[in-house]
Structure formats: structure tokens, C-alpha cells
Amino acid sequence: MEAVEKIVNGDVRAVARMLRDIDDERPEATKTLKELYQHTGGAYLLGITGAPGSGKSTLTDQLISQYRNQGKKVGVLAIDPTSPFSGGAILGDRIRMQRHETDRNVFIRSLATRGNLGGLTRSTSDSIKVLDAAGYDPIIVETVGVGQDEVEVVGATDTAVVVVVPGLGDDIQAIKAGIMEIADLLVVNKADREGARKTERELQFALELGRKASSDQEEGWQPPIVKTVATKKQGLDELYQALEDHRNYLLENDGFEKHRRRRARIDLTKLISDMGYQKIAERLELKKRLPELVKQIAERKADPYSIAESLIAQILE
Ligand SMILES: Nc1nc2c(ncn2[C@@H]2O[C@H](COP(=O)(O)OP(=O)(O)OP(=O)(O)O)[C@@H](O)[C@H]2O)c(=O)[nH]1
Ligand SMILES: [Mg+2]
């Protein structure tokens, strides 16, 4: 049987192999992705982001149970933003969610990001499509909300959850800048610690400010703040209910359609810039010509702007 057919039939090994091929950037993966595409678009995408150690994986582990109780087949992609050598977060994710590892209806993978620009968005969105085609629904994507790419990944999900912990202090600045605008739902986890109420109030305030400044906000949806103690399952029913509320809100307001269009736009523009450079380089025989062009630029016989313009002009001719 072909890879595509196997994946669509939910063959776990075929799914795992495909994710590896994507990670290794194998050219064959693109061929399979082309054929898989028509089988995607059905899954509910749930993004969870927040500072390192805020409890994202513990929350995800609890949510997996909630969705399994509803008979859902759950996919989880945990993005590790650290260097490929540390493996620390990956290990933590595996331990946190290991009780689900023997469940055939739960698929958990960690993706290392290798630090290449745009690589995260591309490989994550490709991996999501594979799980989607294989029938996983919901698909939970865990990222550490540090870089632009991570924020972008979660911002492109259907429901974006931002996790904070009490006493964040300086963190609130980081949260205000960027992360706040993408939040559909805020979680104050580790509410067993001191200052949970204070953090909740600070978030409420930041939320009001951030929402006013943001143009990308969804009309008619007020992001709720849910307090949880993930390790003790406290607040998990409330969190699940808030997620369902947002999903229903999306269903009633063409939200899923809007998000599918947004992701299609991101996919297309990313692919054009990724593939574009390679194709342009081939067409212009850049590999052969580059040393001479670089020499001219370095010796100030030509400027890089004019060279780039003339190369582009040659392509457009
Ligand atoms: N006290 C307390 N500890 C918690 C709570 N939730 C998680 N923890 C602990 O916090 C630590 C980090 O939890 P993780 O779930 O791995 O956090 P994470 O955000 O996934 O971490 P990274 O993926 O490494 O960024 C673990 O030791 C958890 O047991 C909570 O509600 N209260
Ligand atoms: Mg984690």
C-alpha cells in the first residue's frame, strides 16, 4: 500500500515515518504532502504556548484524557525550541505524557526546530497536515512562547491558549508584546502558588489594553481566564468547557473557515519564499555566477541592490 493510503487509513507507523521524512526535509515528502492535502482541513487545532516550565505538557496530558473520554483520537505535537543537542524539553514532554503512550488513539511527537529561519512554521504545519489526514482530531500543538515563529505557529491554530504562572513580573512585558494578541484563552496554571489572584487581575488588565491595541482580534469573543493546578487536575473541567465554548463560537461565526483561509495564506507565502530562492538560483545559474558577483560587490565595483535588481529583472523577462 502507498504511504498516502496508509496515512489516510490511520496507520501509525506510516504517520511516524512521514513525520520523520518531513523533519529530515526529504524531497519525497512534498510529493506525499501534495496528495494528502485533500484529506486535510477537518481537525480542530489547539495551540498551547507559554513560558518554559509553566506546565504546558502537564495541561496537555490532562486535556488528552478529557478528549479521550469523549472518544476523540488525539494528536500532539510538542515543539522543542532549544538546541537539537539539549533534548531536555523533549524528555520532559515524554515523561509528562507517557501514560498515554500505549493508547492507540493518542499520537505524541516532539519536533526539534534546528533553528533555521521559518523552518519551524513550515515543518509544524506539514506535520499537522499529516496528523489531520490520519484522522487525529483535535491536534494539540505545544510551543514555548519565546520567538516570533512560536507565536506564529500558535496564532495559526483554531484556539490559542496562553499559559502563565503566578508571580510572572517581567514576563508580563513579554506576554503583552505579541502573545497577548493571539490568546483566545488564558490559563493561570500553578494556581496553588501564591499570587494567582494577583496574576489573574494583571492579566485581565493587560488583556483589555492589548485587545484595544490589536486589530486582529475576533469580534465578539472575550478571552476567558481560567485558573488551574494541572498536577492536581484542578480547573481542568473549566478549561475544557472554555475550550468547547470557543470551538462553538468558531462554529457559529465561520471561524473555522476564516482560520483555514488564514493558514492557506501562510502556507502559500512561506512556500513561495522557501521554494522561490531555490528555483531562482537554478534559473540564473547562481551557483556558477555567484563568486564573480560577490567579488564585484566586495570590491565595490557594483552594489548589491543593483545586482539583485538586475537578477530579478532577468527572471521576469
Ligand atoms: N505546583 C505546581 N506544579 C506544576 C503544576 N503544573 C505543572 N507543574 C510542574 O511544573 C513542572 C513543569 O511542567 P511541564 O508540564 O513540563 O511544563 P512545560 O510548560 O511543558 O515545560 P517545557 O515544555 O519544558 O517548557 C513539572 O515539574 C510539573 O510537575 C501546577 O499546577 N502546580
Ligand atoms: Mg513541555
Q: What is the pLDDT of residues 65-82, one digit of tens each?
A: 999 999 999 999 998 765
Q: Is 161 in the pocket of ligand 1 (CB under 6 A)?
A: no
pLDDT for 23 equals 86
pLDDT of 53 higher than 50: yes
Ligand 1 geometric centre to CA of 66 (Å): 18
What tens digit of pLDDT does each residue of 177-215 get?
A: 667 778 899 999 999 999 999 989 988 888 777 666 554
Share of the chain above pLDDT 90, in %: 57
Distance CA 81, CA 84 (A): 8
Answer with the residue of higher pLDDT: 146 or 15: 15
pLDDT for 118 equals 55
Which ligand 1 atom sits nearest the alpha carbon of residue 54? Answer: 19
pTM of the model: 0.87
Q: Is 230 in the pocket of ligand 1 (CB under 6 A)?
A: yes
**Residue range 256-282: mean pLDDT, rounded:** 87
Q: Is 247 in the pocket of ligand 1 (CB under 6 A)?
A: no
What tens digit of pLDDT does each residue of 247-264 get?
A: 999 999 999 999 999 899
Q: Is 52 in the pocket of ligand 1 (CB under 6 A)?
A: yes
pLDDT for 96 equals 75
Distance of CA 31 to the CA centre of its chain: 22
Note the ligand closest to the C-alpha atom of 81: 1
Per-residue confidence band for 271, with pLDDT thresholds at 50, 70 and 90 = confident
Which ligand 1 atom sits nearest the alpha carbon of residue 78? Answer: 23
* Residue in 63, 141, 231 to alter for ligand 1 test, most ligand atoms within 8 A of Cβ: 231
pLDDT for 83 equals 45
What tens digit of pLDDT does each residue of 91-113 get?
A: 566 677 778 888 899 999 988 76
Note the ligand closest to the C-alpha atom of 58: 1
Distance CA 128, CA 108 (A): 12
Note the ligand closest to the C-alpha atom of 53: 1
Find, among 163, 178, 162, 161, the residue nearest to 244 by Cα.
Answer: 161
pLDDT for 211 equals 63
Ligand 2 geometric centre to CA of 110 (Å): 9
Burial of 125-138, coded b for 16+ CB within 10 Å and e otherwise, reads bbbbbbbbbbbbbb
pLDDT for 85 equals 46
Answer with the residue of higher pLDDT: 220 or 95: 220
pLDDT of 44 higher than 50: yes
pLDDT for 128 equals 96
* Residue in 49, 56, 57, 58 to alter for ligand 1 test, most ligand atoms within 8 A of Cβ: 58
Which ligand 1 atom sits nearest the alpha carbon of residue 189? Answer: 31
Find, among 163, 187, 180, the residue nearest to 238 by Cα.
Answer: 187
Distance CA 271, CA 267 (A): 6
pLDDT for 249 equals 96
Share of the chain above pLDDT 70, in %: 85
pLDDT of 86 higher than 50: no
Ligand 2 geometric centre to CA of 142 (Å): 7
Q: Residue with the nearest Cα to atom 3 of ligand 1?
A: 190
Per-residue confidence band for 1, with pLDDT thresholds at 50, 70 and 90 = low
What tens digit of pLDDT does each residue of 124-160 get?
A: 999 999 999 999 999 999 988 766 777 788 888 999 9
pLDDT of 21 higher than 90: yes
Bridge partner residues of 78 (DSSP): 110, 142
Sign of the dihedral through C-alpha 175, 236, 149, 53: positive
Burial class (CB within 10 angstroms; exposed 0-12, middle 13-18, buried 19+) of 73: buried
Q: Is 187 in the pocket of ligand 1 (CB under 6 A)?
A: no
pLDDT for 105 equals 95
Q: Is 55 in the pocket of ligand 1 (CB under 6 A)?
A: yes
Note the ligand closest to the C-alpha atom of 76: 2
